[in-house]
Structure 1
Amino acid sequence: MARLPGFAKLSPTERIEALLKEGLLTWDEAQILKEQKGLPLSIADQLTENVLSTFDLPFSLAPYFLINGRDYVLPMVTEEPSVVAAASFAAKLIQRSGGFTTQVHQRQMIGEIALTDVEDRNTASKRILEDKETLLQMANEAYPSIVKRGGGARDLWVENKGDFLIVYLAVDPKEAMGANMLNTMLEALTDRIQELSGGQALMAILSNLATRSLVSARCAIDFKALSRNPEEAIEIAHRMELASQLAQVDPYRAATHNKGIFNGIDALVLATGNDWRAIEAGAHAYATQSGSYKGLSHWTSQPEEKKLYGEITLPMPVATKGGSIGLNPTVQVSNRLLGEPSAIELAGIIASLGLAQNFAALKALVTTGIQAGHMKLQARSLALLAGAKEEEVPRLVSQLLENKPFNLEKAQTLLQELRK
């Protein structure tokens, strides 16, 4: 797969043509992007309620990703300045050191039946677990199509928490999102669980804390990729390790640390038609597993090896089937650009993007500062808001950068002067 050198310097149409030339898009898919044939209003009206129109966001591409020895270009849907550029910068730098490796530990969704008014919880737990194999069979009979595809109910366990006895069910949904599947299975078990426990089911519902859908992404970056100056490279790696440690002890920093990770993750999750709210909820809950909120990534400097090691582990229960994935033409283009990955492969790709985004943010923070990277894009946004035409934007941006601090009023004034 091509790495698309000079991609950022092309116009949107030229970028699409480059993808077409490299065989990353078909002609029909290229037309979807060129003509902005996104989600049809007729389908949008069936997806949710009280629909008026559809809402557009920039659909971008981050090249240079080397993941498990394979080149990728990653579609990203985001309006935030610098995010795509930062991801591409990090990917290109990490690519030179061997890229990313990923590991998907499992792919199972978890649901729960919460029971109240259980008089003897120990006896109830014992009875439920003695009936485990029958209960798993009942769950699979409630959704036989997933069994035919090689998935289905895999495990069942019981925990005593507060006033509740909770029965958990783990299901392998294969390529699907699994929400309807899991809820159907849980509802099929509810009467039998109540009978075995003597309690009342308060609810039967999936959980977004998908601790059995964990994915890890790792990279090892040569110090020479951080700076041409060996001493400066050592210092950058050390400061990035310290920044990583800060996110482990300070929840105020951890929140922003993880938000930066999700700048990338959300953009790719959205581009592939997955539920970014569910992914965020699960990951932020996972970040509190130790009892306090912590950063999801870790960076470790090894001066003797002249390498900076990065790692991220988080729940990533994404899918390639189900939900609105098959309904949005642009989502189908995204999957084509990614090479039609499986759900497991997609999870690893997304985790790699999150780690790349985190690398770029931390490197900027401990060197030039994050604000410096935003200034040019902020100036460009102000130029457009001020009403600059395409040919006027570069000159106005240059003048704004020479006249800091800048705001919309200054942009409008400078634009008037340019037009005299």
Structure 2
Amino acid sequence: MSVTDRRAALTDATGCGAELFAQVDASAFDAEAAADLSENVFGVFSLPLGAATNFTINGTDVLVPMATEEASVIAAASNAARMARPQGGFSTSSTRPLMQAQIQLINIADPHAARTRILERQSEIIDLANAVDPKLVEVGGGVTDLEVRLVEARSTTYVLVHLLVDVRDAMGANAVNTMAEAVSSAVAAIAEGDALLRILTNKADRRLARARAVFDKELLGGEEVVDNILHAYELAAADPYRAATHNKGIMNGVSAVVLATGNDTRAVEAGAHSHAVVDGRYSSLSRFEKNAAGDLVGTLEMPMPVGLVGGATKVHPAARAGLRIAEVTTAQDLGEIIVAVGLAQNLAALRVLATEGVQRGHMSLHAKNLAASVGASAEEAEIIVDRLIEEKAFRFDRAESLLAELRSGGAR
């Protein structure tokens, strides 16, 4: 489809009109508007914004906005989602949207006793924190619990107070940071020490989203392909060198949706990679098995600190458009969609690796980027792409020489 036709298809599917597409055009977010989000702004950096198709999530068809410059990501996610459709698509679930703030207490003479003193006054501390954000409490959020940990460091024992905060439909960083700062003096006085760090942790292991899907063995390519995918997964589960790339494949999809909806890619990535460490060893975030029918079953559980309110989700016009395309109503809905995309992206990568190898499909799409980067017209690009694929020469200098040959009448 042309871009115009794609916009028409999105309008038919979601009911969004022309005003939505005006939001995603680069001119809709100029440098003056961007200056409110960052510092020393002199321009705006744009990325391709596409929609992943074929996703059925909890029985509902979903179009998923994805912002990415990497060739094949959106196509791969859409293809994997197609393979899950015969078995009902993706089933998802999630925990409450709990984020944690840490208060680091130093200069504590009796850390074990200090921990007990803090826990004795737990209700008082929780009430003090919740008084900082009555609106959050009014909508059902706020501090739900308090935990105290002792961390043995090189030179001393730190007392760490964790505030567990239900942040509702926000990502939550500002809310939990404000609460931590508000109660830190009182907590330090109870512990008979001093408060130092007062900030959220991005190890958001109390805010998890899960996705599960059954991928049809015949659509995958048969029993041998299923077995090869399992071998690829098992290597990622056992070897941190492979796991790093395996999980990067998951994040190709996850980060693209997080970015397209105006959320914090760095927070989600930090939470994901910390969650991949189990008993001190970095491993696969996802799990794959074969069911009794011989189909491939994939599951993915990971932290998902995303929101629908605050930050760029409300300010950036393309982020607002992305949320409308996804038709989500809560942050938990959005988190579950993102994890489903991560699982689809992971399966797509494993299937390619277990069959034809990554270069064939990925580099074919990369050839289009090469043709564009050397300044080829649409007609010239078609010829250059065919030649690059035929020669398996996916290099800028070869694309450049082919364009020169075309314009001199030598290449056909």
8 Å contact kept, 1:90–1:356: yes
Q: Which runs of no fewer than 5 residues in structure 1 stay unpaired?
A: 1-9, 228-232
Q: How big is the shift at 1:85?
A: 0.9
Equivalent position amino acid for 2:341 in 1: L
What are the superposed Cα offsets for residues 21-55 of structure 1, whole Å, 9 maximum, x if unpaired? 3344123113334x544423222112111110101
Partner SS, residue 326 of structure 1: helix
Q: How big is the shift at 1:406?
A: 4.2
Q: Is 1:179 equivalent to 2:173 in the alignment?
A: yes
Q: Is 1:301 equivalent to 2:290 in the alignment?
A: yes
2:84 alignment counterpart: 94
Q: How does 1:2-401 map to 2 (within 5 A)?
A: 10-33=1-24, 35-162=25-152, 163-227=157-221, 233-302=222-291, 304-401=292-389
For 1:27 and 1:324, locate their aligned partners in 2 and report how far apart those are by CA, in whole Å.
Answer: 22
Question: Which range is displaced more, 13-22 or 346-355?
Answer: 13-22
For 1:175 and 1:159, locate their aligned partners in 2 and report how far apart those are by CA, in whole Å.
Answer: 28
Equivalent position amino acid for 1:75 in 2: P
Question: Which range is displaced more, 258-267 or 405-414?
Answer: 405-414
Quickly say closer, same or farther: Cα 1:257–1:38, change in 2 above 3 A.
farther
Quickly say closer, same or farther: Cα 1:27–1:312, change in 2 above 3 A.
same
Equivalent position amino acid for 1:43 in 2: A
Quickly say closer, same or farther: Cα 1:223–1:195, change in 2 above 3 A.
same
For 1:112 and 1:389, locate their aligned partners in 2 and report how far apart those are by CA, in whole Å.
Answer: 55
For 1:366 and 1:376, locate their aligned partners in 2 and report how far apart those are by CA, in whole Å.
Answer: 18
8 Å contact kept, 1:37–1:329: no
For 1:256 and 1:41, locate their aligned partners in 2 and report how far apart those are by CA, in whole Å.
Answer: 35
The equivalent position to 1:416 in structure 2, one of 396, 404, 407, is: 404
Question: Which range is displaced more, 266-275 or 383-392?
Answer: 383-392
8 Å contact kept, 1:76–1:271: yes
For 1:244 and 1:300, locate their aligned partners in 2 and report how far apart those are by CA, in whole Å.
Answer: 9
For 1:346 and 1:53, locate their aligned partners in 2 and report how far apart those are by CA, in whole Å.
Answer: 29
1:3 alignment counterpart: none
User: After TM superposition, what 4+ stretches of structure 1 lie above 6 angstroms from structure 2?
Assistant: none
1:6 alignment counterpart: none
Percent identity at matched positions? Answer: 42
Partner SS, residue 73 of structure 1: strand
8 Å contact kept, 1:20–1:30: no
8 Å contact kept, 1:156–1:169: yes
Equivalent position amino acid for 1:410 in 2: R
Partner SS, residue 253 of structure 1: helix
Equivalent position amino acid for 1:190 in 2: S
8 Å contact kept, 1:116–1:201: yes
The two structures have a TM-score, normalised by structure 2, of 0.95
For 1:372 and 1:142, locate their aligned partners in 2 and report how far apart those are by CA, in whole Å.
Answer: 56
Q: How big is the shift at 1:269?
A: 0.1
Quickly say closer, same or farther: Cα 1:36–1:16, change in 2 above 3 A.
farther
Partner SS, residue 209 of structure 1: coil
8 Å contact kept, 1:24–1:336: no
For 1:110 and 1:140, locate their aligned partners in 2 and report how far apart those are by CA, in whole Å.
Answer: 14
Equivalent position amino acid for 2:326 in 1: L
For 1:150 and 1:32, locate their aligned partners in 2 and report how far apart those are by CA, in whole Å.
Answer: 32
8 Å contact kept, 2:277–2:283: yes
RMSD: 1.3
8 Å contact kept, 2:111–2:158: no
For 2:398 and 2:160, locate their aligned partners in 1 and report how far apart those are by CA, in whole Å.
Answer: 60
8 Å contact kept, 2:132–2:179: yes
For 1:203 and 1:400, locate their aligned partners in 2 and report how far apart those are by CA, in whole Å.
Answer: 54
Aligned length: 404
Equivalent position amino acid for 1:50 in 2: N
What are the superposed Cα offsets for residues 271-322 of structure 1, whole Å, 9 maximum, x if unpaired? 00000000001111111132111110011123x3222110011100110001
Q: Which runs of no fewer than 5 residues in structure 2 stay unpaired?
A: none
What are the superposed Cα offsets for residues 250-269 of structure 1, whole Å, 9 maximum, x if unpaired? 11101000111100100000
Partner SS, residue 302 of structure 2: strand
Quickly say closer, same or farther: Cα 1:11–1:305, change in 2 above 3 A.
same
Quickly say closer, same or farther: Cα 1:122–1:406, change in 2 above 3 A.
closer
For 1:289 and 1:137, locate their aligned partners in 2 and report how far apart those are by CA, in whole Å.
Answer: 34
Equivalent position amino acid for 2:163 in 1: L
Partner SS, residue 297 of structure 2: strand
The two structures have a TM-score, normalised by structure 1, of 0.93
What are the superposed Cα offsets for residues 200-228 of structure 1, whole Å, 9 maximum, x if unpaired? 1121111111111011111112322222x
Partner SS, residue 364 of structure 1: helix
Question: Which range is displaced more, 63-72 or 13-22?
Answer: 13-22
